[in-house]
Amino acid sequence: MSADTMDGAGGRVPRMAMERWRPMLLLFPERIILPVLTAAGLLLVWEIVVRHYEIPPALLPAPSQVGQRLWEVLPLLLEHAVPTTLESALGFVLASLLGVGLAILLTYSRLFSAAVYPTVVVFQLIPKIALAPLFVVWLGIEMQSRLAFAVFISFFPIVIATEAGLRNTPPDMLRLCKALTATGWQIFTSVRLPYAVPYIFSGMKIAVTFAIIGVIVGEFISAQKGLGYIIIFASSQADTALILAAIFVLCVVGLALFGAVAAAERLVVRRYGFA
């Protein structure tokens, strides 16, 4: 508006041209095509650089070599992806339950909050990866140590987000509930928890990626199976193509888990009609 009036007639011509150009661009699904083009371009540059400078595959294999290795060992990788996926998912679910539960306690009990919240915050500050070996010392090399570590690393974001969400209820809404002589349980289920739902989901989206990190780190240290184990094994064999192939599968796993949470969020948001 201001640009139109300030530039006068001269400024209007390119703007009109832009407006005609935009719908044409929108005919292509630019949100799909553009990122795919970017990724393809990067892979192409990678391929060319590796071939041109004859970089040894142990240092950096070309994307085509990684693709080939992926194809060769796909059954093996998929087999190892199963425990990684399951442990990540289970760790995430446990972290969500624990995180939401702890956040509810923190918001509802002033005493509990005063006693526990500072400790929660201090734990937040610890570089949690550094504690991973301790979990092996305490819980051994089986699934439970990786699971416990995944829960430990991923439940903080849920606690913080849920807590913020539960405190997000408009004060007048709480007054209205009290004026209607609502019980604490009614206020919680019909007002406070629904108000917190978008917050809980944003915490869960962070947590699900953290849970995968937790499981992979656990597998680095202790496991005899899983994608983290494959990565460590392949690096000991200087099989860089296998490392990258395993990481590719890991990306797919991460995307699937994140996608599941995002889909659940969309479902809930649509069902309850937030926003």
User: CB 264 → other proteins: shortest distance, Å?
Assistant: 16
Q: Which is nearer to other proteins, 71 or 185 (CB)?
A: 185
Q: In this structure, what token pair is assigned to residue 242?
A: 């296998």
Shortest gap between Cβ of 183 and other proteins (angstroms)?
9
> Which CB sits closer to other proteins, 1 or 179?
179
Q: Which two tokens stand for residue 203?
A: 């915490």
Q: Which CB sits closer to other proteins, 23 or 273?
A: 273
Rounded distance between C-alpha atoms, residue 144 and residue 91, angstroms: 10
DSSP letters, 134-169, are: HHHHHH-SSHHHHHHHHHHHHHHHHHHHHHHHHTTS
Q: Which is nearer to other proteins, 186 or 237 (CB)?
A: 186
Q: Which residues have a Cβ under 8 Å from the Cβ of 266 and sit 6 or more positions away?
A: none
Minimum separation from the CB atom of position 274 to other proteins (A): 5
Rank residues 54 and 172 by Cβ distance to other proteins and give the closer one: 172
CB of 177 to other proteins, least distance (A): 7
Phi-psi domain of 8 (left: phi exceeds 0; alpha: psi -120 through 50; beta: other): left
Residue 205: count other Cβ atoms within 10 Å of its Cβ: 16
Tell me whether residue 12 or residue 270 sits nearer to other proteins (CB atom). Answer: 270
Residue 117 burial by CB count (10 A; 0-12/13-18/19+): exposed, middle or buried?
middle
Is the CB of 51 or the CB of 175 nearer to other proteins?
175
For residue 224, give the amino acid letter. Answer: Q
DSSP class of residue 128 equals G
Tell me how far, at minimum, the Cβ of 193 lies from other proteins, in Å: 11
Q: Which of 82, 66, 91 is nearest to 247 (CA)?
A: 66
Neighbours of 238 (CB within 10 A): 12
Give the whole-angstrom CA distance, residue 93 versus residue 131. 21
- Least separation, in Å, of the C-beta of 263 and other proteins? 19
Kindly state the smallest distance separating residue 226's Cβ from other proteins, in Å: 40
- Spatial separation of the C-alpha atoms in residues 152 and 132, rounded to whole Å: 10
Minimum gap (Å) between residue 192 Cβ and other proteins: 11
Expressed in angstroms, the distance from the first to the final Cα of the chain is 29
Of the two residues 35 and 170, which places its CB atom closer to other proteins in the complex? 170
Kindly list the residues in this chain that would bind other proteins in the complex (CB under 8 A). Answer: 170, 172-173, 175-182, 186, 190-191, 194, 272-275
**Eight-state DSSP code of residue 238:** T
